[in-house]
């Protein structure tokens, strides 16, 4: 009996040693089985939130499954363990894996919660913004009492509260060219939950250099899309499909274009699902496939993407392209980082960490990686611009009631001035100043062609329009003769004071001389004149 007990103790000791080995994270190579392991947890984390009850405990458990799961893990994840398509082996791989989420907003929030709930071993959270109340309709990982708190810190607290067994590593300073490749190398799967072009290109290049798969999604308005980059033998990277960045004006932000809250929620949950498939080897990831979601019709559509481009500046391995040459980055001697297939199943070409660090992504895209409003324009001379307080005095001096209310008027006060609001109708309908006329601005040309005739009539009391030069055929037809009375001043406002400047410049070039814009737009009016107005 003593001999049998000794043998059992030896077997238990061996199993515990195997458990410690299994605690090193594994990553699927895209072929359905784990192939590589990480040597250690990320060393560059800004902070760590550790617990012990959900996944990868440091001490040997009192119960050991054949796959190394503890009693608490087996009970917690039992609904996944009994799933034929998943099972204990996949759960063990998930508990030993890591994922990095870049962006703790509308996409990153559900992705982080579902990965933590499913039992991922380590979760990195990258964001440098603070929680705002306007985030909460879609960024469900945050709460009202965390307004003003760093998003990465807020998200880390929510993850720790949901699953204390997940190691959480928040990065408060964001992703930068100097730290991106090193940060990405420390994780098995990367989730792009960002919302700007510089970060998307930076994260793509870092994944190419590190040989990590990239789960990328986007959600604006009522539409979403999802795919997996840098994975599989012929899977493209982001630069393969978009070698040149979109024009800054074509990049819609949720703050400007709007977004229906559940839409990024759907896409973020799907990002978590793709990450789980990559980390465990189950199912078929969305490599070379783009999933499109139309929320209003409830329709999902999948389209096939072209294969990896041999001439890609990041992963192609052909002659040097813009990504390698812009800042004098040297051409690698051989294939890029990740040879052997960590995450991608093969080396990803010639982009190296040094290339990523040297590249100027802001200059390349013409955009800032900061999640803030567009920079203020300076296209008008100071004498053609009015501060909110000065505009209020002018309106009052001409007998207008300058107090604000919801909705918009269709006239122009007492007839002594014309107040034009060039914001989109949806924003105008939320709130506007009394007497304002809504004339949405898209481009200077379309604004003149569509609105100049009406503006000329309003400026001259609804009678004959004044002479002008330029403005297109529609504008020319609107000005048959000059009016006897001097024109009324036209005051133009928008959301922040950018489009209003472009509109005023176009109107002045068309001959409407008494035209001025509101500095800072209706946001400045709400801050300086009428705090009762909501700031959108």
Count how many residues are written for the chain: 536
Q: How far apart are CA 302 and CA 225, in angstroms?
A: 9
Binding residues for Zn(2+): 237, 240, 312, 315
pLDDT at 225 over 80: yes
Helix axes 87-95, 262-280, angle to 10 degrees: 100
- pLDDT per residue over 96-143, tens digit each? 999 999 999 999 999 999 999 999 999 999 999 999 999 999 999 999
Q: How far is CA 502 from the centre of its chain?
A: 27
Binding residues: 106, 127, 134-138, 151, 195-196, 237, 240, 312, 315
Percent of the chain with pLDDT over 90: 61
Q: Which residues are catalytic?
A: 254, 494
Phi, psi of 507 (to 5 degrees): -65, -40
Tokens representing 122 are: 């380590």
- pLDDT per residue over 356-377, tens digit each? 999 999 999 888 777 666 778 8
- pLDDT per residue over 31-74, tens digit each? 333 333 333 333 333 334 433 333 444 444 456 667 889 999 99
Residues 6+ apart with CB under 8 A from 388: 518, 519, 520, 524, 525, 527, 528, 529
Contact assessment for residue 458 and residue 418, using Cβ atoms and an 8 Å cutoff = yes
The position carrying tokens 């300076």 is 378
CATH class given for the domain over 97-127+157-365: alpha beta
pLDDT at 336 over 60: no
Q: What number is the average pLDDT over the span 9-16?
A: 57
Q: Are strands 437-438 and 418-421 parallel, antiparallel or unpaired?
A: parallel
Tokens representing 409 are: 């008027």
Binding residues for ATP: 106, 127, 134-138, 151, 195-196
Q: How far apart are CA 520 and CA 498, in angstroms?
A: 8
Query: What's residue 416's pLDDT?
Result: 85
Q: Determine if the pTM surpasses 0.85.
A: no
Query: What's residue 4's pLDDT?
Result: 63
Query: What's residue 396's pLDDT?
Result: 86
Q: What number is the average pLDDT over the span 416-428?
A: 92
Q: How far apart are CA 12 and CA 31, in angstroms?
A: 32
Percent of the chain with pLDDT over 70: 71
Q: What does the mean pLDDT of the chain come to?
A: 80
- Give the domain 382-528 fold: Oxidized Rhodanese; domain 1 (3.40.250)
pLDDT at 470 over 60: no
- Could you give the maximum distance between any two Cα atoms of the chain, in Å? 117
Residues 6+ apart with CB under 8 A from 278: 27, 28, 30, 188, 189, 213, 215, 228, 231, 285, 343
* Residue whose C-alpha is closest to residue 450's, from 429, 487, 478: 478
245-254, 267-276, 493-502: which is most confident: 267-276
The domain locations on the chain are: 63-94, 97-127+157-365, 382-528
Q: How far apart are CA 126 and CA 73, in angstroms?
A: 27
* Residue whose C-alpha is closest to residue 395's, from 428, 435, 368, 365: 435
Q: How far apart are CA 126 and CA 191, in angstroms?
A: 10
Output the CA angle 454-456-461, nearest 5 degrees.
Answer: 95
Where do the H-state alpha helices sit in 124-196?
151-162, 180-185
Phi, psi of 293 (to 5 degrees): -125, 125
Query: What's residue 26's pLDDT?
Result: 38
Contact assessment for residue 113 and residue 162, using Cβ atoms and an 8 Å cutoff = yes
Cα dihedral 247, 308, 317, 276 sign = positive
Q: What number is the average pLDDT over the span 248-261?
A: 72
Query: What's residue 401's pLDDT?
Result: 43
């Amino acid at each position: 009996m003593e001999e049998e007990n000794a043998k059992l103790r030896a077997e238990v000791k061996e199993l515990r040693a195997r458990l410690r080995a299994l605690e090193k994270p594994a990553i699927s190579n895209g072929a359905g089985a784990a192939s590589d392991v990480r040597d250690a947890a990320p060393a560059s984390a800004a902070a760590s939130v550790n617990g012990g009850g959900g996944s990868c405990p440091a001490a040997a458990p009192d119960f050991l499954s054949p796959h190394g799961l503890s009693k608490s893990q087996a009970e917690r994840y039992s609904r996944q363990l009994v799933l034929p398509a998943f099972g204990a082996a996949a759960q063990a791989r998930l508990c030993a894996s890591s994922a990095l989420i870049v962006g703790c907003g509308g996409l990153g929030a559900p992705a982080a919660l579902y990965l933590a709930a499913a039992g991922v071993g380590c979760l990195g959270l990258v964001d440098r913004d603070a929680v705002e109340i306007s985030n909460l309709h879609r960024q469900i990982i945050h709460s009202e009492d965390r307004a003003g708190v760093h998003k990465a810190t807020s998200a880390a607290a929510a993850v720790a509260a949901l699953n204390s067994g997940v190691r959480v590593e928040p990065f408060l300073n964001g992703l930068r060219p100097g730290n991106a490749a090193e940060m990405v190398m420390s994780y098995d799967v990367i989730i792009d939950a960002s919302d700007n072009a510089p970060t998307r290109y930076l994260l793509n290049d870092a994944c190419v250099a590190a040989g990590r798969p990239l789960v990328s999604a986007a959600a604006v308005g009522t539409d979403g899309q999802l795919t997996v980059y840098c994975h599989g033998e012929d899977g493209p990277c982001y630069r393969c499909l978009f070698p040149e960045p979109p024009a800054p004006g074509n990049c819609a932000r949720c703050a400007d274009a709007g977004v229906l809250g559940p839409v990024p929620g759907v896409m973020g949950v799907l990002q978590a699902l793709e990450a789980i498939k990559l980390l465990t080897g189950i199912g078929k990831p969305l490599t070379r496939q783009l999933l499109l979601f139309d929320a209003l019709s409830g329709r999902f559509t999948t389209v096939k993407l072209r294969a990896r481009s041999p001439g890609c500046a990041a992963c192609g391995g052909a002659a040097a392209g813009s990504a390698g040459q812009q800042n004098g980055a040297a051409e690698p001697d051989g294939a890029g980082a990740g040879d052997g297939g960590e995450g991608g199943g093969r080396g990803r070409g010639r982009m190296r960490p040094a290339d990523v660090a040297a590249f100027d992504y802001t200059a390349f895209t013409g955009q800032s990686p900061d999640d803030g409003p567009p920079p203020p324009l300076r296209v008008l001379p100071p004498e053609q611009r009015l501060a909110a307080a000065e505009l209020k005095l002018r309106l009052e001096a001409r007998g207008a009631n300058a107090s604000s209310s919801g909705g918009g008027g269709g006239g122009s006060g007492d007839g002594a001035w014309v107040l034009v609001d060039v914001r989109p109708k949806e924003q105008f309908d939320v709130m506007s100043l009394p007497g304002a006329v809504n004339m949405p601005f898209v481009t200077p040309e379309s604004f003149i062609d569509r609105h100049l005739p009406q503006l000329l009539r309003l400026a001259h009391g609804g009678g004959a329009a004044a002479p002008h030069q330029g403005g297109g055929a529609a504008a020319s037809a609107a000005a048959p003769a000059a009016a006897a009375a001097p024109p009324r001043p036209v005051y133009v406002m928008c959301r922040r004071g950018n489009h209003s400047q472009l509109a005023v410049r176009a109107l002045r070039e068309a001959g409407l001389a008494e035209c001025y814009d509101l500095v800072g737009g209706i946001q400045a009016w709400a801050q300086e004149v009428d705090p009762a107005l909501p700031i959108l």
